[in-house]
Structure 1
Amino acid sequence: MIDMENIIKVSVRNLIEFVLRSGDIDNSFMSMNRALEGTFAHQKVQKSYGYEYQSEVYLKYSIDYDRYRILLEGRADGILTQGGETIIDEIKSTTRNLEDIEEDYNPLHWAQAKCYGFIYATQNNLDEIGIQLTYFHIETEEIKKFNRIFSTNELKDFLYDVIDKYIKWANLTFDWGEIRDKSIKTLDFPFSKYRKGQRELAVAAYKTIREGKNIFAQAPTGIGKTMSTLFPSIKSIGEGISSKIFYLTAKTITREVPLNSMEIMMSKGLRAKVLVITAKEKICLNHEVKCNPRDCAYAKGHYDRVNDAIMDILKNEDLISREVIISYAKKYNVCPFEFSLDISLWCDVVICDYNYVFDPQVYLRRFFEAEGQDYVFLIDEAHNLVDRSREMFSASLSKADILQLKDIFKEEYIQIYKSMNKLNTIFNKLKKDKDIKDNFYQVEEISDLYYPVTKLIAQMEPFLIEKKDHPDYDKILEFYFNLITFIKISDFYDEHYVTSIENNGRDMVLKLYCADPSYLLNLALKRGRTAIFFSATLTPLEYHRDLLGGNKEDYHIRLSSPFPRENLCLMVNDHISTKYKDREKTYINIVESIETFINSKVGNYFIFFPSYIYMKNIYETLVERNPDKNIVIQNPSMTEVEREEFLSRFKDENDLIAFAVMGGIFSEGIDLAGEKLIGAAIVGVGMPQICFERDIIKDYFNHNNKNGFDYAYVFPGMNKVLQAAGRVIRTEEDRGVILLIDDRYGTYRYKELFPNEWSHHKRVSVKYNMINTLKEFWK
Structure 2
Amino acid sequence: MRQIIRKAAVVSRKGSKQTENEKGRISAGDKVELIRVSVRNLVEFILRSGDIDNRRGTVADKDAMQMGSRLHRKIQGRMGADYHAEVPLKTEIDYETFLLVVEGRADGIFKEQEKYVIDEIKGVFRDVERMEEADPIHLAQAKCYACIYAGQRNLEEIGVQMTYANLDTEEIRRFHYTYTKAELESWFEELTAAYRKWAQMQLEWKHARKDSIGKTVFPYPYREGQKDLAAAVYRTIWHGKKLFIQAPTGVGKTLSTVFPAVQAVGQDLGDKIFYLTAKTITRTVAEEAFTLLKKQGLHYKVLTLTAKEKICFCGEPDCNPEKCPYAKGHFDRVNDAVFELLTEYEENPGNYNRDRIMEQAQKWQVCPFEMALDVSLWSDAIICDYNYVFDPQAKLKRFFSEGVKGDYLFLIDEAHNLVERGREMYSATLYKEDFLDVKRFLKPYSRKAVAALERGNKYLLEWKRECEEYTLLSNIDTFALNLFNVSHALEQILEDRESIMNRPSGDGETEEAKKKTLDFYFQVRAFLDIYEEIDDSYEIYVQHDRDGRFALRLYCIHTADKLGQCLEKGRAAILFSATLLPVQYYMELLSGEKDDYAVYAKSTFDPARKKVLLGLDVSTKYTRRTTAEFRKIASYIQQVTEAKAGNYLVFFPSYKMMTDVKEYFDELKNPETEVIEQSTHMTEAQREEFLDQFQERETGMLVGFCVMGGIFGEGIDLKKNRLIGAIVVGPGLPQVCNEREILKQYYDRRNMDGFDHAYRYPGMNKVMQSAGRVIRTDEDTGVIVLLDERFGQQQYRSSFPREWADYETCTLNNVKEKLTAFWNQNFK
- Distance change in 2, residues 1:509/1:387 (3 Å): same
Shift of 1:286: 0.8
Q: Is the 8 A contact 1:371 1:526 kept in 2?
A: no
> Does structure 1 residue 214 correspond to structure 2 residue 242?
yes
Partner of 1:351: 383
> 2:792, 2:121 → 1: CA distance?
71
Residue type of the partner of 2:38? S
CA displacement at 1:38 relative to structure 2: 9.3
Deviations 1:118-152 (A, max 9, x none): 434443446x64777879898998877676x6672
Q: Which residue of 2 aligns with 1:243?
A: 271
Change (3 A) 1:98 1:352: same
Report the AA paired with residue 393 of structure 2: Q
* CA distance in structure 1 between the partners assigned to 2:563 and 2:123 by the alignment: 35
Question: Partner of 2:680: helix, strand, or coil?
Answer: coil
Cα distance change of structure 1 residues 168 and 257 upon mapping to structure 2, 3 Å threshold: same
| Corresponding letter in the other structure for 2:796 | Y
Match of 1:501 in 2: 542
Paired with 1:51 and 1:767, the residues of 2 have a C-alpha distance of 86
Is 2:469 the counterpart of 1:438? yes
CA distance in 2, matches of 1:683, 1:385: 25
Task: Tell me the TM-score normalized by structure 2.
Answer: 0.85
CA contact (8 A) 2:121 2:165 kept: no
Contact conserved, 2:127 with 2:491, CA < 8 A, in 1? no
Q: What residue is the counterpart of 2:41 in the other structure?
A: 14
SS at match of 2:337: helix
How far apart are the structure 2 equivalents of 1:597 and 1:44?
Answer: 69
1:674-728 C-alpha deviation (Å, 9 max, x unpaired): 1222221111111111111111111111111122111111111111111111111
**Corresponding residue for residue 313 of structure 1:** 341
SS in 2 for 1:260: helix
2:361 is aligned with 1:361: no
* 1:671 to 2:690 alignment: no
Aligned ranges 1:105-254 → 2 under 5 Å: 108=137, 112=141, 115-116=144-145, 118-125=147-154, 129=157, 152=182, 155-192=184-221, 194-254=222-282
1:548-567, aligned counterparts within 5 Å?
Answer: 548-567=590-609
Does the residue aligned with 2:40 lie in a helix, a strand or coil? helix
Structure 1 counterpart SS, 2:766: helix
The 8 Å contact of residues 643 and 819 in structure 2, kept in 1 or not, is answered as no
State the 1:221 CA deviation: 1.5
Gap change, CA 1:360 and 1:3, over 3 Å in 2: same
Give the direction of change, closer, same or farther, for the CA distance of 1:415–1:215 in structure 2 (3 Å limit).
Answer: same
Could you list the per-position Cα deviations for residues 436-469 of structure 1 after superposition, in whole angstroms to 9, with x for gaps in the alignment?
A: 2222225x23333221111211122222332224
CA shift, 1:507, in A, is: 2.8
Note the 1:241-390 alignment, pairs <5 A.
Answer: 241-316=269-344, 317=348, 318-369=350-401, 370=403, 373-390=406-423
Judge conservation of contact 1:571–1:761 (CA < 8 Å) in 2.
Answer: yes
What residue in structure 2 maps to residue 464 of structure 1?
494
The 5-angstrom pairing of residues 408-557 of structure 1 reads 408-432=441-465, 435-442=466-473, 444-465=474-495, 466-468=499-501, 469=503, 470-471=510-511, 472-503=513-544, 506-557=548-599
Superposed CA deviations along residues 293-352 of structure 1, whole A, max 9, x for unmatched, are 111111111111111111122223312111111111111111111111111111111111
* CA distance in 2 between partners of 1:180 and 1:158 (Å): 34
Q: What are the ranges of 5 or more consecutive residues in structure 1 without an aligned counterpart?
A: none
Which residue does the alignment assign to 1:758?
Answer: 804
CA distance in structure 1 between the partners assigned to 2:85 and 2:598 by the alignment = 51
* Alpha-carbon displacement from aligned partner over 1:221-240 (angstroms, at most 9, x marks no partner): 21111111111111100000
- What letter matches 2:208 in structure 1? I
1:610-640 deviation digits (Å, cap 9, x = unpaired)? 2223223334544465565333222321233
156 and 511 in structure 1: CA distance in 2 versus 1, 3 angstrom threshold: closer
Per mean C-alpha deviation after superposition, the further-off stretch among 217-226 and 84-93 is 84-93
2:11 maps to: none
Mapping of residues 64-79 of structure 1, within 5 Å: 64-74=94-104
Task: State the secondary structure of the residue aligned to 1:557.
Answer: strand
Q: Which segment is superposed worse, 656-665 or 543-552? A: 656-665
Contact 1:498 1:512 (8 Å CA) reproduced: yes
- Tell whether the 8 Å contact from 1:277 to 1:322 is kept in structure 2 after alignment: yes
Q: How big is each residue's C-alpha offset from its partner over 1:575-598, in whole Å with a ceiling of 9 and x where there is no partner?
A: 111223333412222222212222
What is the CA distance between 1:527 and its match in structure 2? 1.2
Aligned match of 1:710 in 714, 735, 756? 756
Deviations 1:179-199 (A, max 9, x none): 11111112111112x222222
Letter in 2 for 1:247: Y
Cross-structure match for 1:404: 437
Of stretches 626-635 and 50-59 in structure 1, the one that deviates more from structure 2 is 50-59
Measured in 2, the distance between the counterparts of 1:441 and 1:135 equals 41
Letter in 2 for 1:718: M
Code of the residue aligned with 1:72 in structure 2: it is V
Q: CA deviation at 1:210?
A: 0.4
Structure 2 contact 55–494 (Cα < 8 Å) conserved: no
Pair 1:638 & 2:665 matched: no
Query: Please, what TM-score do these two structures have when normalized by structure 1?
Result: 0.90
Secondary structure, aligned partner of 2:525? helix
Cα RMSD over matched residues?
A: 3.5
Does the 8 Å CA contact 2:563/2:591 hold for their aligned counterparts? yes
The secondary structure found in structure 2 opposite 1:556 is: strand
Residue type of the partner of 1:290?
A: D
| 1:614 and 2:657 correspond | yes
One of 704, 720, 734 as aligned partner of 2:766: 720
Change (3 A) 1:611 1:676: same
Cα separation, 2, equivalents of 1:45 and 1:496? 30
Judged with a 3 Å threshold, the aligned counterparts in structure 2 of structure 1 residues 306 and 648 are, in CA distance, closer, same or farther, namely farther
C-alpha deviation, 1:501, in angstroms: 1.8
Distance across 2 between alignment mates of 1:315 and 1:187: 22
Deviates more, 1:703-712 or 1:752-761: 752-761
**Residues of 2 paired with 1:666 and 1:49: CA distance?**
60
CA distance in 2, matches of 1:600, 1:557: 37
Cα 1:430–1:46 shift into 2, 3 Å: closer
Q: Tell me, what secondary structure is at the counterpart of 2:694?
A: helix
Q: Is the 8 A contact 1:600 1:775 kept in 2?
A: no
Partner AA of 1:184 in structure 2: I
| Code of the aligned partner of 2:794 | Y
Q: State which of 742, 749, 766 in structure 1 corresponds to 2:788.
A: 742
Q: What corresponds to 2:3 in structure 1?
A: none
Task: Quote the offset at 1:601 in angstroms.
Answer: 2.5
**In structure 1, what residue type is equivalent to 2:100?**
I
- Say which is worse superposed, 112-121 or 754-763, in terms of deviation: 112-121
Inter-partner Cα distance in structure 2 for 1:292 and 1:682: 49
Name the SS for the 1:173 alignment partner.
helix
1:662 alignment partner in structure 2: 708
Q: How far apart in 2 are the matches of 1:41 and 1:689?
A: 43
- Whole-Å separation in 1 of the counterparts to 2:730 and 2:709: 12
Partner of residue 631, structure 2: 588
CA shift in 2, pair 1:735/1:52, >3 Å: closer
Contact residue 416 and residue 580 of structure 2 kept, 8 A: yes
- Farther-moved stretch of structure 1 (635-644 vs 523-532): 635-644
**Counterpart AA for 1:373:** G
